[in-house]
Amino acid sequence: MKKLTLGFMLFALSAATMFSSCNKDDDDDDDNKLSTLSASWNGGSFSSSLAGFYKNSPSEAGSTKLFSSSDGTTTIAASEKGRQLAITIKGTTSGTYKLNVSAENAVTNALINLLSGEDVESALKNSVEAETKAMVIYRANGETEGGSTYYFSTNAEVTFDNSFIYYATGTFKAKMRNKAGDTFEINDGNYKVFGI
C-alpha cells in the first residue's frame, strides 16, 4: 500500500512540477523545485524532480538482513531519463548514516572486537554491522544486480533530516562500483523530497 501511495504522490508531484514549469517566469534550477534528488561525478550527473521517500516499519525492513533494523528503514529514490538513484538508510529519524564495507576496515574492526573480549561470532557480526547504516544504488532502468550499469556504494555518508515529517532534506556522498570493478565517486549529492 505504501508503494502505491508513494507512486501516486510522485505522479502528483511530477505533474505539478511539469505544469508549473510552463510559466515563463520560472527558473529551471533545482533551488526552485519542491522535490529533487541530484548528484554529479567525474563524467556524469543525475538530477530529477521525480523523487520521494518512504519509510518501512521494522517488520517490512526485516526482509533484507543487511538493512534489518528495530527502527525500520528509509528509502529515498528518483528516476531520470531511464536511470534510477536510490538511497537506503537503516533508520527513520534525522541523523547521519554511514557505510564502509572495505575489507581492510572489516578485518580491523573484527580484530579489535575479538581482542576486546567478544566471542568470534559476535566480533565478526559487530565489525560488519557497525558500518552498514546506508546504501546507495545507481542503475539504468531495469538493470539487475551484476549488470554493467548497476552500481552500489562501498563507502557512503548520508545526512537525513525529516523534521517536517512528510518532507526530508539531506546530502550524500558515496564511492560507487559495479561487479566488474568500474568505479566513480559522488561528492555533492543532495535531496529535498516529499514522502510517507
Assess whether pLDDT exceeds 60 at residue 8.
no
Residue entry with cell 572486537: 113
pLDDT band at 112 (very low <50, low <70, confident <90, very high): low
At 94, is the secondary structure helix, strand, or coil? coil
Of 41-45, 64-68, 108-112, 152-156, minimum mean pLDDT range: 64-68
pLDDT at residue number 154: 87
Query: Could you tell me if 108 and 123 are in contact, meaning their C-beta atoms sit under 8 angstroms apart?
Result: no
**Residue found under cell 523545485:** 33
Query: What confidence tens digit (pLDDT) does each residue in 18-59 have?
Result: 434 444 344 455 456 789 999 999 989 999 999 999 998 776
- Contact of 156 with 67, CB cutoff 8 Å: no
Quote the CA–CA distance of 85 and 107 in Å, as a whole number: 30
Angle, helices 120-129/103-115, rounded to nearest 10 degrees: 140
From 86, 105, 88, 106, select the one nearest 97 (Cα to Cα): 88
pLDDT at 149: 94
pLDDT band with cut points at 50, 70 and 90 for residue 10: very low
CA 41 to chain centre: 16
Q: How confident is the model at residue 66 (pLDDT cuts 50, 70, 90)?
A: low
Contact (CB, 8 A) for 62 and 54: no
Average pLDDT, the chain: 79
